[in-house]
Chains A and B, each alone.
Chain A
Amino acid sequence: MTHAVADSIRERAYAAAAQVADPEVPVLTIADLGVLRGVDVVDGTVEVSITPTYSGCPAMSTIALDIEVALAREGIANARIKTVLAPAWTTDWMSEEGKRKLAAYGIAPPKGKAGRRALFGHETIACPHCGSENTEKIAEFGSTACKALWRCHGCGEPFDYFKCL
């Protein structure tokens, strides 16, 4: 395979993989989320690298399967999906576009840069529905490992917050 051919396959494979939606937050693609780390062509085989958001993220096997399907639609068979751990995923890997999509979808995007918080730090999160900062945390854990449950006192709606990790 020439370099030019490999490059063209890699570009097509990347474009196809980048369109795969996260199964738990379908408004985001795995590229928006930063779960897609890269695509390589190794000895003629397409190799897609993905990284888990959380160690126990149950969506990883579904994501791998969805990537294989997306590549097959592009005529790329026998792709290898590789899970990489380093560098560890943080919410800083999420694109700005991804954060905008999340907010429009009704999930408050991660606020600020990932980093170590104090054991009992206090956070102020704006409601994705009405923008009010008069909100409170109901539970540290929400509908998926990556979200927490909050409530807005402004509009009275509960909402998910994509935790800053």
Chain B
Amino acid sequence: MATTSIMVRETPHVLYTLRRADDALVLGHRLSEWCGHAPILEEDIALANIGLDLIGQARALYTHAAALEGAGNDEDRYAYLRDAPQYRNVLLVEQPNGDFAATIVRQVLFSAFMDPYWRAMTRSTDETLAAIAAKAEKETAYHLRHSAEWLIRLGDGTAESHRRAQAAIDDLWMYTGELFESDADEQALVAQGIAVDPADLRAAWDETIETVLAQATLKRPADGWMQRGGRSGRHSEHLGYILAELQYLQRTFPGASW
């Protein structure tokens, strides 16, 4: 393995798969940062478990992308040997963990989208994506339930937990628009039945978020300016720091294994 970044032949199908893989890897990595630091032991285990599910999903997706690309890349090369502008994840998942409320809000916003997403993807004409979706769908439903229950506890808890939960929603709301975006290449995959149109999942996401926020006594922010760019490699500064930690070993000792 070399220290220099790889070039990826991003056909629409490869790019689509990498976008979903990068979402899962980056959020999985973020959650792993809580390991040993969560407010209670049970939650330390829960966040690590959710992270593990996401990294498992990422591995399956990268492996599939590698087969589609057919250029000799593999899950490790995609994860370790691409720079930030080559990562295709949405900006939401790379946002810092912040306090526990911010981590939980980020998880609810993302899982509320991924739950109907994976359910729809079980009908993908790409059999491997459909198989990955069938596994991920069950895991994601669990992540959504767990994080939504926490958000209700925080929102409907003390004045302090309510304040922090509302602040996290207000801060992260501008990253939710990107979840529903697609481009012409993705629309072509939608037409072939490989992908689902994320815009079609908006109603399901809205309903989940409305239900959870109402129970949590939290306010839904008004839809204003939405941040975008992650899908085409324009990231917030945070991703670079994640990759510095994630890739350090392989960049320094190419091909190291243990």
Contacts and interface: CB of A to CB of B under 8 A. Distances in A.
B46 A85 contact: no
Interface string A121-165: 000000000000000001111110100010000000000000101
Nearest to A143: B45
Interface stretch (B85-93, B94-102, B138-146, B164-172): B138-146
Contacts of A57: 56
B45 A142 contact: yes
A3 interface: no
Nearest to B57: A55
Given A55-B53, A85-B128, A165 B144 contact: no
A119 B130 contact: no
A56 interface: yes
B148 interface: yes
Nearest to A84: B131
A74 B211 CA distance: 57
B243 interface: no
Contact of B60 (A85, A141, A143): A85
B45 A55 contact: no
A119 B216 CA distance: 14
Contact of B145 (A88, A89, A140): A140
Contacts of B55: 56
B49 to A, nearest CB: 4
Given A86-B134, A87-B134, A141 B141 contact: no
Given A139-B45, A140-B46, A141-B45, A119 B148 contact: yes
Interface residues of B, number: 35
B136 interface: yes
Contacts of B181: none
A58 interface: yes
Interface string A70-93: 000000000000000111111000
A30 to B, nearest CB: 17
A145 B134 contact: no
A147 to B, nearest CB: 10
Contacts of A113: none
A160 to B, nearest CB: 12
A165 B134 contact: no
B56 A149 contact: no
A66 to B, nearest CB: 19
Given A86-B127, A138-B42, A165 B138 contact: yes
Interface in B41-55: 42-43, 45-46, 49-55
B217 interface: no
Nearest to A119: B145
B149 interface: yes
Contacts of A145: 49, 52-53
Interface string B124-158: 00011011101110110110111011000000000
A149 B44 CA distance: 13
Given A54-B139, A140-B46, A141-B42, A120 B56 contact: no
Given A85-B135, A88-B135, 11 more contacts: A54-B52, A54-B139, A55-B135, A86-B127, A86-B134, A119-B145, A119-B208, A119-B211, A141-B50, A142-B45, A149-B42
14 contacts: A54-B135, A55-B136, A55-B139, A57-B56, A58-B52, A85-B134, A86-B134, A88-B131, A88-B134, A88-B138, A141-B45, A142-B45, A143-B45, A145-B49
Cβ-closest 4 pairs across A and B: A56-B56, A55-B56, A139-B42, A86-B131
